[in-house]
């Protein structure tokens, strides 16, 4: 039996609650004691730790956000902050910490493992899908479906008015939200930080589309490339066209998680608890590869090479004329 603490960190993502629920219930089922830490590493430094029972996680599986709240902590990003966090965890007699979050949160967990020898287990949960060791992060499916639904609505009005529209989506330095929502909504152009873009190629395509009678171009722009206002100015330098911009913003982070995100949360939590049942120590992260649940050392996870899906990008391009 282990005393396991769980926190959510970084940007919230749909499916965080479903994952917390699965950790609490699978953990208690296996005989572990589960503690929730509020407001991520910041809350840990403020000792916001409380015991969780299975009732604390009732009626949350369908809710977006995180009942444990989340924060970005400057103090934890220092060696002193990491030491203080480890001391607090030890004072509460916690054996291991489950970190539900993305790349930045995993880097925090890695510091706890490598600098303070504290046991940490990472569960990938971010809308950005920017952890390349796993095919999907929890929250990505919901976020991309939200984006697709928004683009469908925008497409209706753009078509009615014969307008083009640049839609800026989140993802930090990763283009996956733009790529997957772009291909799924039939976008004419998709701009991602992983690939250079040629403004002339985009405007030539817009011109050709106009000649063919296709005037409602949808350009999906990942925030890691540039802002939608900047891209609009670049396009209008080259071509005289009515063009609107929409920055989708936080709508992408909220909302009820899809079935896929809820199921992924349950499966990853199950593997995490199985590792604790087998006396896990050190730093590991769980993920999904080719449909199978995997676990890898946190160092391997954070050094995994980028996984941008160029094949999918080429399909999207081929289908967009």
Binding residues (CB under 6 A) for ligand F6P: these are: 10-11, 102, 126-128, 170-172, 223, 253
Residue number, 172 or 205, with CB nearest to ligand F6P: 172
Annotation marks residue 314 as catalytic: no
Q: Which of 103, 128, 176, 217 is catalytic?
A: 128
For residue 295, what are its two tokens? 């676990």
Residue number, 126 or 258, with CB nearest to ligand F6P: 126
CB of 130 to ligand F6P, least distance (A): 8
Residue number, 172 or 284, with CB nearest to ligand F6P: 172
- The Cα 168–Cα 180 span in angstroms is 14
For residue 104, what are its two tokens? 């930045």
Residue number, 158 or 220, with CB nearest to ligand F6P: 220
Residue number, 38 or 95, with CB nearest to ligand F6P: 38
For residue 75, what are its two tokens? 């103090």
CB of 214 to ligand F6P, least distance (A): 30
CB of 87 to ligand F6P, least distance (A): 28
Q: What is the set of active-site residues?
A: 128
């Amino acid at each position: 039996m282990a005393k396991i603490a769980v926190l959510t960190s970084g940007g919230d993502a749909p499916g965080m609650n479903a994952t917390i629920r699965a950790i609490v219930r699978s953990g208690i089922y296996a005989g572990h004691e589960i503690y929730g830490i509020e407001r991520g590493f910041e809350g840990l430094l403020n000792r916001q730790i409380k015991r969780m029972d299975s009732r604390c996680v009732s009626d949350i599986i369908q809710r977006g956000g995180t009942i444990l709240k989340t924060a970005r902590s400057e103090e934890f990003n220092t060696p002193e902050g990491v030491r203080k966090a480890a001391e607090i965890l030890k004072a509460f007699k916690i054996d291991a910490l489950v970190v539900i979050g993305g790349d930045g949160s995993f880097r925090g967990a890695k510091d706890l493992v490598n600098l303070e020898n504290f046991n940490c287990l990472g569960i990938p949960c971010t809308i950005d899908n920017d952890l390349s060791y796993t095919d999907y992060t929890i929250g990505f499916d919901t976020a991309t479906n939200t984006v697709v639904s928004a683009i469908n609505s925008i497409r209706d009005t753009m078509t009615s008015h014969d307008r083009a529209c640049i839609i800026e989506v989140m993802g930090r330095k990763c283009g996956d939200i733009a790529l997957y929502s772009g291909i799924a909504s039939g976008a004419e152009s998709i701009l991602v930080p992983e690939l250079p873009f040629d403004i002339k190629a985009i405007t030539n395509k817009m011109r050709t589309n106009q000649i063919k009678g296709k005037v409602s171009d949808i350009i999906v722009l990942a925030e890691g490339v540039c802002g939608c206002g900047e891209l609009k100015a670049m396009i209008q330098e080259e071509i005289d066209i009515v063009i609107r911009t929409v920055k989708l913003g936080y709508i992408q982070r909220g909302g009820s998680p899809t079935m896929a995100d809820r199921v992924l949360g349950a499966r990853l939590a199950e593997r995490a608890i199985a590792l604790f049942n087998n006396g896990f120590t050190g730093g590991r992260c769980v993920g999904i590869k080719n449909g199978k649940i995997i676990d890898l050392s946190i160092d391997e996870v954070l050094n995994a090479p980028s996984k941008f899906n160029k094949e999918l990008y080429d399909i999207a391009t081929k289908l967009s004329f």
